[in-house]
Amino acid sequence: MSSKDHPDYNEELNRLEFTLGYVEKSLENAIKEKDRLDVEVSKSKKGLHGDSSQGYIDLMINTMFHDRIQIKLKNLIAARKKPYFARIDFKEEGASEKEKIYIGKMSLMREEDQKLIIVDWRAPISNLYYEERIGDASYSCPEGRIKGKLSLKRQFSIEDGKLNNIFDIDITTNDEFLQSYLGANADNRLKDIVSTIQVEQNKVIRADMWKPIIVQGAAGSGKTTIALHRIAYLIYTFEKSFYPENFMILAPTRFFLNYISEVLPELGVDKVKQTTFLDFAVEMIGSKLKIQDENEKLIRFVNNNNTYEEIKLNNFIRKESEFKASIEFKNVIDRLIMKIEKEFLPKADFKVGNYVIYKYEEIQSLFLNEYKNIAMHKRILEIKKHLSNRLKKKKEAIKASFQLECDRKVAAVKLEMEDGEDRRKILSEIIDSKNDAISKLESICKKAVNDYVKSIQRIEPLKYYKDFFENQELYFSLIENCLDSDTAEFVREYTINILKSGFVEVEDLAPIMYIKYCVYGLDEKINIKHIVVDEAQDFSVFQFYVLKKIAKDTSLTILGDLCQGIHSYRGIKSWRDIERYVFEDGRCEILNLKQSYRTTVEIMDAANSVIKKIKDDNIVLGEPVIRHGEKVEIINKENIADIAKDIVEKINNLKEEGFKSIAIICKTLNECIKMNTLLKKYHKDIQLLTGKEKEYRAGIVIVPSYFSKGLEFDAAMIVSADRDKYGENELDIKLLYVSMTRPLHRLYIYYEKELTPLLKDIK
């Protein structure tokens, strides 16, 4: 049925035209306001003087309003094309008539009577659209639970200001509308999820900010888009309490950040901190660190070097990563911090001249006991107050003792000598000596506290960490029985060699950050209130422990998929480990998103048959939305050149069908380089992704299996799925699963000699 056949077509067309007219009117007013503010900001800057506090205040206020109008302008320009995507009719209990509520990406209010023309999707009442069904319904808002009757849920397909279709529904999204969305090309899907948010996704987006949540989401369940929409929702809900700068999303790579870069601005959100764990670690530690390529170890394990020496070395390297990622290593660093703490203060009394103001034992007690719950460097500020207060009192007592001694000497001289010039000279010298002593005392006291603080060495966190490994006696005393002696010595020597080369590894960052946090606290410029972690399965328990400290214990949203945990040697084995070791109070909630919206049933079933080869209760299979497509094609060719020719033919056919983004996925980077050489003869516009890129350019890409994680494409070709490439081990299974779950519509798998047994079950 076309939109024109809908009984309410004319009503909805009139409403759309009215709304677009009001958008234009609001846009005109916003442009005028922006022009006015441009002038005001310029005036404020020109009239700014060094001693003009009012000038600074005016500039700050005008700049704030200017930023807001910029966001409003951006939203209104977007609303020209699609002002809203849904309508609900709701009659509140006790109300005389129902309200017709139109839901969009922004709110728009009629200035003359403050009536809402468009309601923001993040507003409490919009929850009726996402979670309630026709009939009795309710939603929560600051005033409490609002009950009533929901009589209509309607979706619109509006493009470029034109009403293309109308869907009346009961649940969140009707099949036709959802199928249309899921059938779109990969480059359009990430930006426009708001209209199709499902109930289970909505619960994650609107979950309590102050209760940490872990989301185990299947490949294609929308984890990344949910993460971004959750930030947008929290900023909207807590706009009076927090700034966008107080929110941070941690993505796996800079490339991935570029891939998702347009989503938050599309949702009307700017200034959210978007970074990687590596970049954030460098910022927090405050040192210029060179970080070893985080994929170097993975590539070592992926390349399947099978000599005895390589296997032995790889086993040690894997254990080194696992240990540094563990809560046991965090406990070791705790013991190191206790040692740092005991030796942090100089072992000397706080003295002025020969006068002891504070004994070392007293200062140490304040440091270790009184202020033990704050960072060591901040304890010094508190101790400074103690030193200053006592010094003030002692100074007066010392001055009084000087006066007393002076008086005693004067009395003795007067008793022993007759009045005369000699006596007057001696008395004058005694008084001058007293005055000099008081003057010197005043001078020493002015600097005494600061001199004491300066005597406390500021040692870089990296040096503390390095010294720990280089001090063999200390190292073995602190790791106790954590490792067998051979592994313990390997970890020590391996780390020393890495650090001597001028690098640190990813696994070293969490312990160094933890030392920085415990010893020096957070820099004032880092003011994070909520952290959203995407691709969280590749984070370690230790990393999450550090992030919890930074986010003031509870405000974390963690999203990942254990099926895609290709860095499992340093990543999470079970979400329960975070619940157990990081959020010890048990306030953490674990949610499952099993529904996969990316791939067809055929592709998801094939991928599930592979991941099921891992016998692990923590593995949660994805459940595809009922969207069928072509079967997964497994293709045998004589050699890699023939595979390349077939890929070229497939690419040409797919482009003719209208598919835009196509991935050729090889297991390793070396294989990608070889394939790129072959394919460049036929396609000049192919982009080889190595993991070093900072910018995402959609189109045809060649990508290693481990770097394809988190990305999605219209179609994908997996190269060389032979037995000798993909064995029946956990890492190979996960790499193949990741590769298979990238495409939306088509999947082709090539092999040369013998197909990997991982794919034998696919029909």
Distance of CA 747 to CAs 279, 599, 601, 744, Å? 35, 10, 12, 9
362 vs 554, more confident: 362
Packing angle of the helix pair 730-740, 601-611 (nearest 10 deg): 170
Where is pLDDT greater, at 65 or 331? Answer: 331
pLDDT at 495 over 80: yes
Nearest-CA neighbor of 318 among 569, 688, 27, 526? 569
User: Is pLDDT above 60 for 227?
Assistant: yes
Q: Looking at the structure, tell me whether residues 328 and 361 fall in a common domain.
A: no
Q: For residue 112, is pLDDT > 90?
A: no
Q: Residue 117 CB: number of other CB atoms within 10 A?
A: 18
Number of domains in the chain: 5
Contact 706, 738 (CB under 8 A): yes
Query: Could you tell me which residue, 394 or 675, shows the higher pLDDT?
Result: 675
Answer yes or no: is pLDDT of 53 > 70: no
Q: What is the pLDDT of residue 383?
A: 92
Helices (H), ranges, 612-720: 640-656, 669-679
Of 167, 195, 223, the last residue of a domain is: 195
pLDDT the model gives residue 185: 57
Co-location of 232 and 265 in the same domain:
yes
367 or 586, higher pLDDT = 367
Inform me whether the pLDDT recorded for 447 exceeds 80.
yes
91 DSSP β-pair partners = 149
Mean pLDDT of the chain, nearest integer? 88
Alpha helices by DSSP H, listed for 153-219, are 175-182, 186-189, 199-205
- Taking the C-alpha atoms of residue 116 and residue 130, their distance in angstroms, rounded to an integer, is 19
Among the listed residues 252, 250, 359, the one whose alpha carbon sits nearest the alpha carbon of residue 295: 252
Average pLDDT over residues 659-677: 94
- Residue 599 in any domain: the answer is no
**568 in a structural domain:** yes
Residue 619 within any structural domain of the chain = yes
pLDDT, position 162: 94
Is 519 contained in some domain? no
Query: For residue 181, what pLDDT is reported?
Result: 47
Query: Could you report the per-residue pLDDT of 77-90, keeping only the tens digit for each?
Result: 889 999 999 999 99
Give the model confidence (pLDDT) of 688-708 as tens digits. Answer: 998 778 777 779 999 999 999
Q: Is 674 in contact with 704 (CB distance < 8 Å)?
A: no
Please state the pTM of the whole predicted model: 0.86
Is pLDDT above 80 for 242? yes
What pLDDT is stored for residue 607 in this prediction? 95
Same domain, 233 and 328: no
Kindly state whether residues 650 and 755 are assigned to the same domain. Answer: yes
User: What integer pLDDT is reported at residue 180 of this predicted model?
Assistant: 53
Task: Among 411, 442, 473, give the residue marking a domain's end.
Answer: 442
Indicate the residue type of 498. I
Instruction: Specify whether 619 is located in the same domain as 662.
Output: yes
CA distances to 382, 387, 394, 640 from 346, rounded to whole Å, are 16, 14, 21, 68
Residue 76 and residue 102 in one domain: yes
Q: Which residues of 369-407 are buried (b: 16+ CB within 10 A; e: fewer)?
A: eebeeebbeebbeebeebbeeebeebbeebbeebeeebe
Q: Is the pLDDT of residue 393 over 90?
A: no
* CA torsion angle 70 76 78 83 (round to 10): 150
- State whether 617 and 658 are in the same domain: yes
Residue 283 has pLDDT above 70, yes or no: yes
Check residue 217 and give its pLDDT.
92
Amino acid letter, residue 543: Q
Return all residues near 491 (Cβ < 8 A) that are at least 6 apart: 319, 320, 323, 324, 483
Residue 648 has pLDDT above 50, yes or no: yes
Closest of 528, 549, 575 to residue 330, by C-alpha:
549
Query: Could you tell me if 567 and 664 lie in one domain?
Result: no
Residue 306 is assigned to a structural domain of this protein = no
653 and 736 belong to one structural domain:
yes
Residues 539 and 661 in one domain: no
Say if residue 11 is in the same domain as residue 126. Answer: yes
What's 554's DSSP letter? Answer: T
Q: Which domain holds residue 492?
A: 311-340+461-510
Residue 211, sorted as left (phi over 0), alpha (psi -120 to 50) or beta, turns out to be beta
Give, for 124, the enclosing helix (H) or strand (E): none
Q: Give residue 763's pLDDT.
A: 67
- CA-closest candidate to residue 256, choices 633, 676, 708, 647: 708
Percentages of the chain per state (helix, strand, coil), in multiples of 5: 50, 15, 30
pLDDT at residue 722 in the model: 95
Please give the DSSP secondary-structure letter assigned to residue 242: -
233 is a domain residue: yes
Indicate if 13 and 126 belong to the same structural domain: yes
Please state, for a pLDDT cut of 90, what percent of the chain lies above it.
55
Residue 618 lies in a domain: yes
The pLDDT value recorded for residue 99 is 94
Per-residue model confidence as pLDDT tens digits over 5-45: 899 999 999 999 999 999 999 999 889 888 888 887 777 66
The whole-number pLDDT of residue 189 equals 43
Q: 391 in a domain, yes or no?
A: yes
Residue 150 β-bridge partners = 90, 135
The answer, yes or no, to whether residue 119 has pLDDT greater than 90, is: yes
What's 249's domain CATH number? Answer: 3.40.50.300
Phi, psi of 141 (to 5 degrees): -145, 175
